[in-house]
Amino acid sequence: MSSSERPFGVLGLIGLGTMGRNLALNLADHGTPLVVWERDTALASLAREALPETTIWTDGPAELAAALPAPRAILLMVTAGPAVDAVIASLHPALEPGDVILDGGNADARDTARRQAALAGSGIELIGLGVSGGEEGARFGPALMAGGSHEAWARVAPALNAIAARAPDGSPCCDRLGSGAAGHFVKTVHNGIEYAVMQALAETYDLMRHGLGLSPSAIGDVFERWNTGPLQSYLVEIAADVVRTRDADGAPLLDKVVDQAGQKGTGRWASFAALDYGTPAATIAEAVFARAVSAHAEDRRALAAGSPGSISLGLDDLERALRASTLAAFVQGFDLIAAADAAEGWGVDRTAVARVWRAGCILRASLLDRLADAAGQAPDGAMLLHAPDLMSEMQDVLPGLRHAVSAAALAGYAAPAMMSALSWVDGMTRARVPADFLQGLRDRFGAHRFERTDRPGSFHADWSGS
Ligand code: 6PG
């Protein structure tokens, strides 16, 4: 085995913030020697207390590169954006052909593709590494989604497989999911789905709390019960904890939390990508818009028209509504990955994506096993609803979604994730949609032309009404 094929024995790590420090501890626990650099002295001393004494500390990118045996592997855990460009620029002169940089931040896949293109021909490779699972995942087992060449991956895979979460069958939730920026794109879509599922959970909470008048502890019990059935997932599990948590005075803590949700960009990027690739990932985009609605707090208070009242809805229907919205969010995300992959040629296997998401990541859920099967059933690249088992699951839960959406709409509750999920399913399962009418209008005002159902060709008509 030549040195350019051997797994890396030592790993360089730049950035020891929360995620970097916890990944470093995880790597150290699994026997990977580390050479590290952290610019911030407070963060560096926090990490120094926890990392093994054998860790080699350096003063900057060039020193770090010099302290590593060639060929080098260097994991960047720095804030996504310009900081990644700056670190790569300062590392570059100290690197050699065969070296591999891994970017473990939540990078925009377009930035990763740009950086990979800039390094092309230098013999230095950049792997975009999606890391999910938050602080705890990083420390004890994240899900890892890589994009890059087979050769570079083969050399970093042993160290990363060792620290990744394990699926119930024991396999590591860590894989090379395709070439180029595939890893960061899959992570972006993961986060888009995360936004959509969280929004559906928030709407479910709202309907239970205000529409059905349930107490926070009763809602916690409902989430806990649902978490033992088909909705079993990390997000439903923590939904029960969040709604039950009380402040020091015994009041529900949620009632004292400002109702404005933050966002760092990944949900937006997933939505931009859906628009760019022409994929109807409406529930993901609606979840981003729902955060934007939340951010317009002053407008909402000025325009407030009173609180919506009670609704008549069974908890079984609400559970089905949440299942249908969750399923819609995942299917839209997988369709988005397929569309991006068809355009970019990364070679992503959606079954592998579902398998990597089974443990460690925020989306971990029993549904992932069913999605992995569906990805195998659906023809290559086809929308996942073509998988018969998934479609039949959707048909089973759809009546509950209709009831929940009707109840919410009639009482005046905004439920954009649920409502968009229903419109998406109804649109995708209708052979003929009113786009004929849109074409008529487009041709009427702009001579945009249209195709006919009864003969080939492109047509313009006189739409004067007679
Ligand atoms: C994860 C999470 C993590 C984080 C995102 C989204 O997979 O561990 O997705 O990446 O939650 O940063 O954060 P925002 O909600 O702030 O956009």
Residue 6 has pLDDT above 90, yes or no: no
Give the model's pLDDT for residue 223.
98
Decide if pLDDT at 177 tops 80.
yes
Dihedral angle, C-alpha 350, 167, 103, 43, nearest 10 °: 150
Nearest CA to ligand 1 atom 16: 263
Q: 253: Cβ–Cβ under 8 A, 6 or more apart, which residues? A: 245, 246, 247
Rounded mean pLDDT, 83-103:
97
**Among protein residues, the one whose CA lies closest to atom 1 of ligand 1:** 132
CA nearest ligand 1 atom 2, residue:
132
- Determine the distance separating the centroid of ligand 1 and the alpha carbon of 403, expressed in angstroms: 31
Cis peptide before 71 (omega within 30 of 0): yes
pLDDT > 90 fraction of the chain, expressed in percent and rounded: 96
Counting from 1 in the atom list of ligand 1, the atom nearest the Cα of 133 is 8
**Integer-rounded Cα radius of gyration of the chain:** 25
| Angle 327-399-212 from CA coordinates, rounded to 5° | 90
Axis crossing angle, helix 216-226 with helix 315-344, rounded to the nearest 10: 60
pLDDT greater than 60 at residue 202: yes
The predicted model gives 274-280 an average pLDDT of 98
Spatial separation of the C-alpha atoms in residues 371 and 89, rounded to whole Å: 40
How confident is the model over 232-246, as a mean pLDDT? 98
Report, as residue numbers or ranges, the catalytic residues. Answer: 187, 194
Distance (angstroms) between ligand 1 centre and the Cα of 71 equals 32
The model's pLDDT over 378-403, given as tens digits with 9 standing for 90+, comes to 888 889 999 999 999 999 999 999 99
Task: Calculate mean pLDDT across residues 65-75.
Answer: 95
Contacts 24+ apart (CB under 8 A), 215-218: 216/243, 216/244, 216/252, 216/254, 217/244
Instruction: Give strand pairing partners of 129.
Output: 146
Compute the distance between CA of residue 185 and CA of residue 179 in angstroms, rounded to an integer: 11
